[in-house]
Amino acid sequence: MHGLGLCVGESGMVSIGFKALPLRNHKSHNSPQNGLITDEGKTSFTQRRMGRKGSKKDNGFHRNDSNKNESGGGPGAMGSARKFSQNNGGSESQASFVRKQVDPETAKYFSEITNVIEGTEVDVEERSVICGTALEEARGKEVELATDYIISHTMQTLLEGCTLDRLCAFLRSSADEFSQICMDRSGSHVAETALKSLARHLEDDESYSIIEETLSVLCEAIVTNPVDIMCNCYGSHVLRRLLCLCKGVPMDSLEFHSTNPSVVLAERLNLRSSHLDSHNAPQNQPFPNQLKFLISEMVDPSRADMAILQANQYSSLVLQTALKLLAGQEEELFHLIPILLGCPTDAASEENFIEVKTAKKVRRLVEENAYSHLMEVILAVAPDTIYNDIFTKVFKNSLFRLSSHFCGNFVIQALISHARSKEHIKLIFEELGPKFRDLLELGRAGVVAALVAASQRLHDNQHECCQALADAVCSRDESSACIIPRLLFLDNYLYSVDKENWSWPSGFKMHVLGSLMLQTVFKYPSEFIKAYITSITSLEDKHVLEAVKDPAGSRFIEAFLISSISAKQKYKIVAKLRGHFGELAVLPSGTFTIEKCFNACNLSMKETIVSELLPFQAELSKSRQGPYLLKKLDVEGFARRPEQWRSRLTSKQSVFNEFYEAFGQKDAKSSRAGNFLSDSYKNTQAEKFKGMRKEIDDGLSSGFVSKSGTPFLAHQGSTKPKKSVDQKSKARGFPQDNDDFSKSKIKKLKTSKDGESAKNEKKRRKKDESSESSNKKLKAGNWDQ
């Protein structure tokens, strides 16, 4: 079998054989490190926990529960099932698997293969031939080779370099034992490498049929006993990759292969759109039949024990991936979600499928670590009908109790952030609104932040929500000036012994969630947040400066400066930073704050900001965001010609004033009074003319191009000669006079707008005349009768 007497000839082709290549020093395959998976669950990998971060996770709740398992649940059937699945991978057959040793002759052969691939320069075609030949030699010994600690690395290299035919042949040949390969520490890497290599061939349409056939064989082999591989720490990784391959999404996509806490938090607080929204869900499905078959068979009650799958952390990850991949496919979700909730199979098709007994069980399960993660994804992807049923039957009247639990509170955050209607927000606020203070003291600020964000998103209970948050940190008889400081230092205030005499603690890091809640609050209409405006404008100068220097504090200041609050109130905050703009600009996050300050103030303060940045030009030019700020504020132009800099800024201001007078909403005047350069005013009409606004800006800026030898950051590396100002203006089609250019553009826009209005009026009159004419005919007809 191994007598492949190949040699290197004049043509450069490489042959493999025992006599042709020197033997590399090969470690013994009987060493203890090679028998790492003989007893399943003994590796440190299986001992890792999926626990929630935070030392205050209990906060006085369940501390007397000494028999609690690692997920936070009490003893009982679920606890024993979870323990069983962690220690044994969910099945006895897994523990009975004993790795077969690779015979010495085969080990020597693959050692020589490794020497050839790693030790010499081999072109792509020759490498493909070598890899294919070696994989052919592996036929019938796939499990032994893939699970060997050393040879498995060689197998990965071979699978990456072989042709598609050889790759598919290897997978089909090993399909019957693919589950064993997936559940092995070394074999799982081989299996994942094979799936990655398979994914690289998806772009070739001619390869579709052979890949589909191979995936069908693998799926049928896996579903014979899916619990084993789903509950295994290694197997779950492979299975998630297989699901992603069937869906056609990137293998290492964070949305489908793992959970980033920062991303989840940003989605819950409306800081970014959710990838699980139906309109954002990926629509490409290269192998929909295989995906549907694999998921349905994995959760088939006749094959899988749902009690084990619900409690095991690794199966939870697989099910989360399956749900994310099915986002937007309501028919499939209507079948899958009731099963994951533990509903009887005969009730899954009914409209109200959640029974009282099932609801009680789910409320207990969401206090388990693994199932709480699963429920978060269920709430995110559930169709409106299912979400409403889960909300009404499972969580209603239990919101505060679950919010107090260190696992359950994350589920409630997901429930709130994915609320579908104003009615949901009203019901949630009725239960949790009066409990804001209690939730903050329990360390459940995430629940409060989620409700504040959901209220702002759905525009319901906004005033009540803002008032409840203020009351949680400041009593009615206290001055509203204390609201902002206490939210910025939330933990410091709540855990202080003498709350009545608490004051701003200088030198302490600001509370991230407190800052995020304030950022959301400043998105509310100004009439609902008057107490917060009073509080921030009452801050001392040194406290505003300290806030801007803190990463969390600077974000909250920026949110205030770009809000719909009047320019007069914003100016009060900017003025408190006078004399410190330069030192703030060189901070990592200070660049963004200085830009917001510049946009929010009048011409006089803009000049003050730029003049304070002049001594820091050299330092800013070396920082990451400094060059952008110097260009945005035209600091060099101000240093050379201050009068021309002022003239340009004034001209720019007047152009935007005229633009918004023509196309902006009338009710937006108050928010943009004296500040048409701020980011606070955003409406649908303005978005439509975003391109025109940029064109005007470019036209006005064209006469003040930097004349220094160093180009701006966006143009670094360019070797083209610089054009003069006049050449640039002509090339872009701009008139020499910037004011004439601006007015001509706006005049054209006005004319086009008036023309459209006239056309619409003509159409309306014509329609009314024809309608009147038809009515007269109708009356005449009735009279004749």
- In this structure, how many other beta carbons lie within 10 angstroms of the beta carbon of residue 329? 20
Structure tokens that stand for 411 in this block = 């589920």
Quick one: pLDDT at residue 714?
37
| Beta-carbon contacts of residue 160 (< 8 Å; ≥ 6 apart) | 131, 193, 196, 197
Residue from 568, 598, 564, 599 nearest 584 by CA: 598
Evaluate whether 37 touches 147 at the Cβ level (below 8 Å): yes
CA distance 359 to 375: 13
Structure tokens that stand for 387 in this block = 């979400």
Global pTM? 0.74
Q: Could you tell me the end-to-end alpha-carbon distance of the chain, in angstroms, rounded to an integer?
A: 104
CA distance 686 to 643: 30
CA distance 704 to 63: 67
- In this structure, how many other beta carbons lie within 10 angstroms of the beta carbon of residue 772? 10
Chain mean position to CA 634: 35
In order, the DSSP letters of 273-285 are --TTSTTTS----
10-residue mean pLDDT series, the chain (785 residues):
39 37 38 37 34 39 36 36 39 52 90 82 82 92 93 94 94 93 95 94 88 95 91 95 90 59 76 58 74 93 84 95 93 93 71 85 95 96 95 96 96 96 96 96 96 95 96 92 96 92 93 96 95 96 96 95 94 96 92 94 94 94 92 93 92 82 56 39 44 53 42 40 44 44 52 55 56 48 43
In order, the DSSP letters of 640-688 are H-HHHHHHHHHHHHHHHHHHHHHHS-GGGHHHHTT-SSSS----HHHHH
Query: CA of 729: how far to CAs of 55, 540, 585, 705, 747, in Å?
Result: 62, 47, 32, 11, 20
CA distance 1 to 745: 81
Percentages helix, strand, coil for the chain, rounded to the nearest 5?
65, 0, 35
Angle between the N-to-C axes of helices 512-521 and 462-473, in degrees from 0 to 180, rounded to the nearest 10: 140
Using CA of residue 778, residue 779, residue 780, residue 782, what is the dihedral sign? positive
Quick one: pLDDT at residue 115?
87
Q: What is the pLDDT of residues 302-344, one digit of tens each?
A: 777 889 999 999 999 999 999 999 999 999 999 999 999 998 8
CA distance 544 to 506: 11
Residue matched to tokens 């409106």: 384
Residues listed for the chain:
785
Residue matched to tokens 């390869």: 207
- In this structure, how many other beta carbons lie within 10 angstroms of the beta carbon of residue 475? 10
Largest CA distance in the chain: 113
- In this structure, how many other beta carbons lie within 10 angstroms of the beta carbon of residue 246? 24
Q: What is the pLDDT of residues 512-559, one digit of tens each?
A: 999 999 999 999 999 999 999 999 999 999 999 999 999 999 999 999
Query: CA of 731: how far to CAs of 515, 577, 706, in Å?
Result: 47, 42, 18
Buried b (16+ CB within 10 A) or exposed e, 642-657: eeebeebbeebbebbe
As to burial, measured by CB atoms within 10 angstroms (0-12 exposed, 13-18 middle, 19+ buried), residue 297 is: middle
Collapsing DSSP to helix, strand or coil, 178 comes out as helix
Evaluate whether 406 touches 371 at the Cβ level (below 8 Å): no
Quick one: pLDDT at residue 657?
78
| Beta-carbon contacts of residue 30 (< 8 Å; ≥ 6 apart) | 101
| Beta-carbon contacts of residue 31 (< 8 Å; ≥ 6 apart) | none
Query: CA of 414: how far to CAs of 52, 82, 379, 398, 440, in Å?
Result: 15, 24, 7, 15, 18
Evaluate whether 492 touches 458 at the Cβ level (below 8 Å): no
406: amino acid identity, one letter:
F
As to burial, measured by CB atoms within 10 angstroms (0-12 exposed, 13-18 middle, 19+ buried), residue 140 is: exposed
Residue from 549, 536, 426, 420 nearest 487 by CA: 536
| Angle subtended at Cα 194 by Cα 193 and Cα 195, rounded to the nearest 5 degrees | 90
* Per-residue H/E/C for 424-469: HHHHHHHHHHHHHHHHHHCCCHHHHHHHHHHHHHHCCCHHHHHHHH
| Angle subtended at Cα 574 by Cα 554 and Cα 489, rounded to the nearest 5 degrees | 35
In order, the DSSP letters of 170-184 are HHHHTGGGHHHHHTS
Classify residue 491 by its DSSP letter.
H
